[in-house]
Amino acid sequence: MADGGLTILDGNQLKAVDLSLPSPDGAVTGAQLLELAESRVSAFLFGLALPENLKSAVLRRLEIGDDFSSFSAKELDRENASSFLQNYVSIAADELKDDPMVLSILDGKALRIILEDEDDFAMLAENLFTDLDIEDRGKIRKSEIQNALLHMGIEMGVPPFAEFPRLSDILKKHGAEGEEELGQAQFAQLLQPVLQELADALTENHVVVVQNVKIINGSQLRKVLANEKLLNDVVDKLIQEKNGQADAKTTKELIRSFLQKNGKDLGLPPLRADEMVVLLYDAVFADVEETKNTPGSEENFMVVLKEILVRFAEQLEANPVFHDLGI
């Protein structure tokens, strides 16, 4: 699944995983089975391994998280090994549904779009030059080309140097190093062939970068709604909060205040200063009926809470929130 230049791995990709065991027949050790399962899953995640938090969740649900060494040494017959492999892939897909991986696949296309439009490239080169000419002298060193690429970053299709060492070779090949100074026009003349060769190189060898982004899509929230014990705990906390309030508040007001502070634990996006999340809260609470918390009204909490959480889940499923974990 792709979205606005990003590729979303939400578990659907794992439906095509090969679940057959390799030949020859015979017992398989737990270590061999884990290696096979991780390899099969990785093949459908652009060669990436599951993030450690998801991998740990999978092993925990398979009940081997605390007994890894023992399981690795254990021998499983073909039937049990096949069942384990199916369960591993199924649970991995389920975990990815709750917590999708967000990737940028750098294949040169974004750079080609920039290079094919003379006006776009000229504006890019001008903006980069202005940003790098911090002393406003109208001159920058050739070596600043590297910083220009860093400024462009993944958003414009330039991979991190650590992920694509060939980038340093491209700079050397075009003489984009040293102390020689360039004016804006010379800078643009040097930048263009560097970007062109980089685009060609990425066409041959794509770079996959995992973004530090969490997608909140309502999946975790639906699991909360199916967990009666967890919902009862939330209602208990709401009642405690109500009893600690000096001023009477409506059920809606209390629940909104509580979710704004604690919603992250239930699968809601953090409020912070994100205008889109504020609008999401406004949309969900707009049609919720106001109810005063008079004595004996505690039974209303569960009904109203469920109604609100269902609305959140529906909204997030239709319009997932992308939360940058780096902020």
Instruction: Tell me the three-class secondary structure of the chain, residue by residue.
Output: CEECCEEEECCHHHHHCCCCCCCCCCCEEHHHHHHHHHHHHHHCCCCCCCCHHHHHHHHHHCCCCCCHHHHHHCEECHHHHHHHHHHHHHHHHHHHHHCCEEEEEECCHHHHHHHHCHHHHHHHHHHHHHHHCCCCCCCEECCHHHHHHHHHCHHHCCCCCCCCCHHHHHHHHCCCCCCCEECHHHHHHHHHHHHHHHHHHHHHCCEEEECCEEEECCHHHHHHHCCHHHHHHHHHHHHHHHHCCCCCCEHHHHHHHHHHHHHHHHCCCCCCCCHHHHHHHHHHHCCCCCCECCCCCCHHHHHHHHHHHHHHHHHHHHCCEEEECCC
106, β-bridge pairs: 207
pLDDT at 4: 44
Token look-up 């360039």 returns: 182
pLDDT of residue 234: 86
Residue type, 236: D
Question: What pLDDT is stored for residue 178 in this prediction?
Answer: 85
Question: What per-residue confidence (pLDDT) applies to 294?
Answer: 47
Residue length of the chain = 327
**pLDDT by residue, tens only, the chain of 327 residues:** 544 478 999 999 999 999 999 877 778 899 999 999 999 999 999 999 999 999 999 999 998 877 888 999 999 999 999 999 999 999 999 999 999 999 999 999 999 999 999 999 999 999 999 999 998 999 999 999 999 999 999 999 999 999 999 999 999 999 988 889 999 999 999 999 999 999 999 999 999 999 888 899 999 899 999 998 988 888 888 888 777 776 667 788 888 988 998 888 899 998 875 788 999 999 999 877 765 444 445 677 888 889 999 999 999 999 999 888 765
Structural domains in the chain, CATH included, are: 6-99 (no CATH), 106-208 (1.10.238), 216-324 (no CATH)
